[in-house]
A = this chain, B = another copy of it.
């Protein structure tokens, strides 16, 4: 007879794919499957099948989702995706679709809050308790861990939408960003589509020495300056396709130091190479983040 040990189930729920993971409380991953995001019903059904077919005994569930989502445990729509522009997903009962199949504790948070928690438990932020995880790709989002707790507050952080001063080059071109809501917000200025719009090429086709990277780094550094002044993180982890470009983070570090201009003086920030870093969990930040949500749900149950 095969011995069954209890496992954790995790889903990184994105607009393109739902990445399903079976792992354990040490962050080890045993199985993974990529389910394309179609309708809520179909997508959730396929995810449920994956976990059922694994024949693992699931002890807790973690879902790290695209948003906006309802994180208020007292709300009747806790566990829902709410006002997303994604067709078919408005007011989708994401957690409910799994909870009816698995009677275990559920952790639920934003994808980026999940990633922040994963980096704190098993990645680049171990031993710290206050960090920001920022991802810059097709969209921009940020998660905030403060004193070991994930920030929800009124809703959850929406860090891609902070307003920044426009760079001269964008003022000259009258480019105010790609966000339909805000002129000059971080996401609108630095996301992949904004880069393509400015230079007529997808960002991954641009050379390492393309002037785009100086401009993007300038905006990211300004955003980080504001993160430092508002939340005082002990480390800022920057993931996502745009910042995987090797030109970007070194420029961001230099520009952040210049922007803060010695006002915030700590040993931590003097060591800028260790202050602004790539994810320690690499491309598993999201999945391990969801796993960390499952583990925390188990501990809190």
Contacts and interface: CB of A to CB of B under 8 A. Distances in A.
Nearest to A235: B154
A154 B265 contact: no
Contacts of A156: 232
Interface stretch (A25-33, A162-170, A193-201): A162-170
A262 B181 CA distance: 8
Interface stretch (A39-47, A49-57, A142-150, A293-301): A142-150
A158 B159 CA distance: 18
Interface string A166-207: 100000000000000110100000000000000000000000
B266 A159 contact: no
A230 B68 CA distance: 14
Residue of A82, A156, A228, A230 most packed against chain B (CB within 10 A): A230
A34 interface: no
A264 B153 contact: no
A260 B183 CA distance: 10
Interface residues of A, number: 51
A261 B179 CA distance: 11
Stoichiometry (number of copies): 2
A182 B261 contact: yes
Contact of A153 (B68, B153, B154, B232): B232
Interface in A11-29: none
Interface stretch (A91-99, A116-124, A219-227, A241-249): A219-227
B232 A154 contact: yes
Contact of A231 (B83, B157, B182, B266): B157
B232 A157 contact: yes
Given A129-B153, A147-B149, 11 more contacts: A142-B230, A146-B146, A153-B231, A157-B230, A163-B165, A165-B165, A165-B184, A181-B260, A226-B226, A227-B230, A230-B231
7 contacts: A144-B231, A146-B149, A147-B147, A147-B152, A151-B232, A154-B268, A182-B261
Interface of A: 68, 82-83, 129-130, 142, 144, 146-147, 149-166, 181-182, 184, 222, 225-234, 259-266, 268-269
